[in-house]
């Protein structure tokens, strides 16, 4: 029998606010010693009260809008009560039945060419708990992460394969970075994902019991864990077994799923309204202020690049991975005012390499889009050759000087003066009688070697076409 997988994802997105959700402690404690960014509020001292960081609501509205979700005019905070040592108040402040946004969807363009629409059920704001570590028979607790703001987003059971799940996370990560609401680094747990997985005969319209996979910390791991679980469920069903609603944990090193617990009884968290916080009222004025500079979204921009500039899907996809890069591309194209594909090639090959090597984002470059356009123009006009042009990208980045100035200062302009070139070519031919003989006896491929010698002599400035022409004449 043929099966299809039914997958829903629950993601927690760590927001990149300066301070925590309910106090003034620094939110990002990556790499810092335990219990250094804490205060009476986030460690749950007696008598303290939470005060909402408005930036959290604002970032949630940005994400909700990007997901086409309905932002609620009034939402509420609730207490989720449970005991755990790294939950200092003994309850988590979250949103339960009246979250900040409801509904929405994300359209995933799949590499195979089809589009998968993933529905969003709800999107809510909550605080993170701390971290527990076991060492030498002790539980060690780090409260730094307590009160770090999270958005939890739950999808419908709309994904049909491990690849689709991975694609969702890739697009979500791209989106949160694009919106500037999260660093979106899965290795740093900025996006955490739990996956609900079930299978059914292809084309069936009912849902079977599902399992929940927790603790998957990278997109590859999500893909692998889900694929593994789908295979396990198929084997189980084929063997006449039944799928139990287990909670599973992905062991990345071993590449296996382990059963954490059976899920027969749901814990009762005794949710009730958080009396220490007022309802969150998102009035039209506030919402309008938040959305005033709402950007074109990555998938929209990707489609526009293809339609407006005639770029191949591959180029459009790469250019829109990061907002800064796509802004860079468009600015360079505008300054260049020519073939969009030619600018795309330079950005994808030269600029992207530079960004990767130096760990920069496009808006931090000293090779501004305008400088890049100038460099391409210099190459187009034959003022410099292509390899000098590529070297110029790095030189401008290193010095911050305009490309033309570097060309002048370093004498990089291409030598096309045939008199001067001829002199150099004659010198090279005279100095290498053996190679001349070989060439003349038929090994004409040596022309490349002769050109190379001339290029070396001119420190790369010679116009290679002109050189080849003269050499053929001299050797002919």
Partner 1 sequence: MMELLRMEAHEIAAAVRAGKLSARDVLEATLERIASVDGIPGTIGGDPGAEPDKIHAFITLTAERARAQADAVDAKIAAGEDPGPLAGVPFTVKDIFVVEGTPSTAGSRILANYIGPYTATPVERMEAAGGVMLGKVNLDEFTFGSSNESSAFKPTPRNPWDTSRVPGGSSGGSAAAVAAGEGWLSLGTDTAGSIRQPAAFCGVVGLKPTYGRVSRYGLIAFGSSLDTPGPVARSVRDAALMLQVIAGRDPHDATSAAVPVPDYLAALEKDVRGLRVGLSPDYFRIVRAEGGELVEEPLPAEIKQAVLDTAERLANMGVEIVEDVPMPHNRYGIPAYFVIARVEAASNLHRYDGVKYGYRTPDRVADMREMYRKSRGQGFGLQPKLRILMGMYVSAAQYSERYYQRALQVRTLIRRDFEAVFDPEGKYRLDALLTPTTPTAAFPMGAVYGDSVLMQYADQLTVAANHAGVPGISVPVALNSEGLPLGVQLLGRDFDEATLLRLARAVEDAAAFTAKV
The binding site for partner 1 (CB under 8 A) comprises: 40, 43-52, 79, 81, 83, 85, 88-91, 139, 141, 268, 270, 272, 275-278
Residue 146 or 393: which CB sits closer to partner 1? 146
* φ, ψ at 52 (rounded to 5°): -70, 130
> 194 and 13 in contact (C-beta within 8 Å)?
no
CB of 264 to partner 1, least distance (A): 16
Q: Is the dihedral angle over the CA atoms 289, 293, 297, 303 positive or is it negative?
A: positive
> 467 and 425 in contact (C-beta within 8 Å)?
yes
Residue 48 or 154: which CB sits closer to partner 1? 48
Helix (H) or strand (E) holding 55: helix 54-66
Bin 189: left if φ > 0, else alpha if -120 < ψ < 50, else beta.
left
CB of 3 to partner 1, least distance (A): 35
Strand order across the beta sheet in which 272-273 lies: 91-94, 78-81, 272-273
CB of 287 to partner 1, least distance (A): 20
Bridge partners, 142 (sequence order) = 131
Residue 34 or 156: which CB sits closer to partner 1? 34
Residue 141 or 467: which CB sits closer to partner 1? 141
SS3 content of the chain, % helix, strand, coil (to 5): 40, 20, 35
Residue 80 or 116: which CB sits closer to partner 1? 80
Residue 77 or 328: which CB sits closer to partner 1? 77
Residue 102 or 140: which CB sits closer to partner 1? 140
CB of 213 to partner 1, least distance (A): 26
CB of 158 to partner 1, least distance (A): 28
Residue 46's alpha-carbon distances to 60, 90, 217, in angstroms, are: 30, 12, 35
> 204 and 197 in contact (C-beta within 8 Å)?
no
> 470 and 425 in contact (C-beta within 8 Å)?
yes
CB of 37 to partner 1, least distance (A): 16
């Amino acid at each position: 029998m043929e099966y299809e997988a039914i997958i829903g994802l629950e993601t927690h997105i760590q927001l990149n606010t300066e301070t925590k959700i309910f106090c003034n402690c620094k939110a990002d404690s990556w790499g810092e010693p335990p219990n250094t960014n804490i205060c009476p509020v986030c460690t749950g001292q007696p008598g303290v009260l939470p005060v909402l960081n408005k930036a959290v609501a604002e970032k949630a509205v940005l994400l909700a809008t990007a997901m086409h979700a309905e932002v609620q005019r009034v939402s509420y905070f609730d207490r989720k009560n449970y005991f755990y040592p790294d939950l200092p108040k003994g309850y988590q402040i979250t949103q339960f039945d009246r979250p900040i946004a409801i509904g929405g969807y994300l359209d995933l363009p799949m590499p195979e060419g089809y589009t998968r629409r993933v529905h969003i059920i709800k999107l809510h704001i909550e605080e993170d708990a701390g971290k527990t570590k076991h060492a030498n028979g002790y539980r060690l607790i780090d409260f730094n992460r307590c009160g770090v703001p999270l958005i939890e987003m739950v999808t419908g059971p709309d994904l049909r394969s491990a690849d689709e799940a991975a694609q969702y996370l890739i697009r979500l990560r791209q989106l949160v970075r694009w919106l500037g609401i999260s660093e979106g680094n899965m290795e740093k747990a900025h996006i955490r994902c739990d996956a609900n997985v079930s299978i059914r005969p292809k084309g069936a319209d009912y849902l079977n019991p599902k399992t929940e996979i927790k603790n998957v910390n990278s997109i590859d791991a999500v893909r692998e864990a889900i694929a593994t679980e789908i295979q396990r469920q198929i084997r189980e069903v084929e063997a006449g077994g039944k799928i139990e609603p287990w909670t599973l944990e992905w062991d990345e090193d071993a590449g296996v799923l382990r059963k954490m617990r059976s899920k027969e009884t749901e814990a009762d968290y005794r949710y009730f309204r958080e009396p220490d916080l007022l309802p969150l009222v998102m009035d039209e004025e506030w919402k309008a202020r938040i959305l005033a500079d709402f950007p074109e979204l990555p998938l929209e921009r990707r489609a526009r690049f293809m339609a407006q500039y005639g770029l191949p899907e591959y180029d459009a996809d790469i250019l829109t991975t990061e907002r800064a890069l796509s802004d860079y591309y468009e600015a360079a194209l505008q300054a260049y005012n020519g073939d969009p594909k030619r600018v795309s090639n330079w950005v994808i090959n030269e600029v992207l390499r530079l960004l990767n090597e130096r760990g920069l984002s496009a808006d931090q470059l000293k090779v501004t889009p305008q400088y890049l356009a100038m460099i391409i123009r210099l190459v187009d006009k034959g003022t410099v050759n292509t390899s000098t042009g590529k070297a110029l990208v790095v030189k401008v980045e290193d010095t911050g000087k305009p490309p033309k100035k570097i060309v002048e200062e370093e004498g990089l302009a291409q030598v096309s003066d045939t008199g001067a070139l001829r002199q150099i070519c004659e010198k090279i031919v005279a100095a290498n009688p053996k190679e001349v003989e070989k060439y003349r006896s038929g090994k004409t491929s040596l022309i490349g070697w002769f050109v190379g010698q001339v290029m070396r002599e001119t420190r790369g400035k010679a116009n290679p076409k002109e050189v080849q022409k003269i050499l053929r004449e001299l050797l002919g």
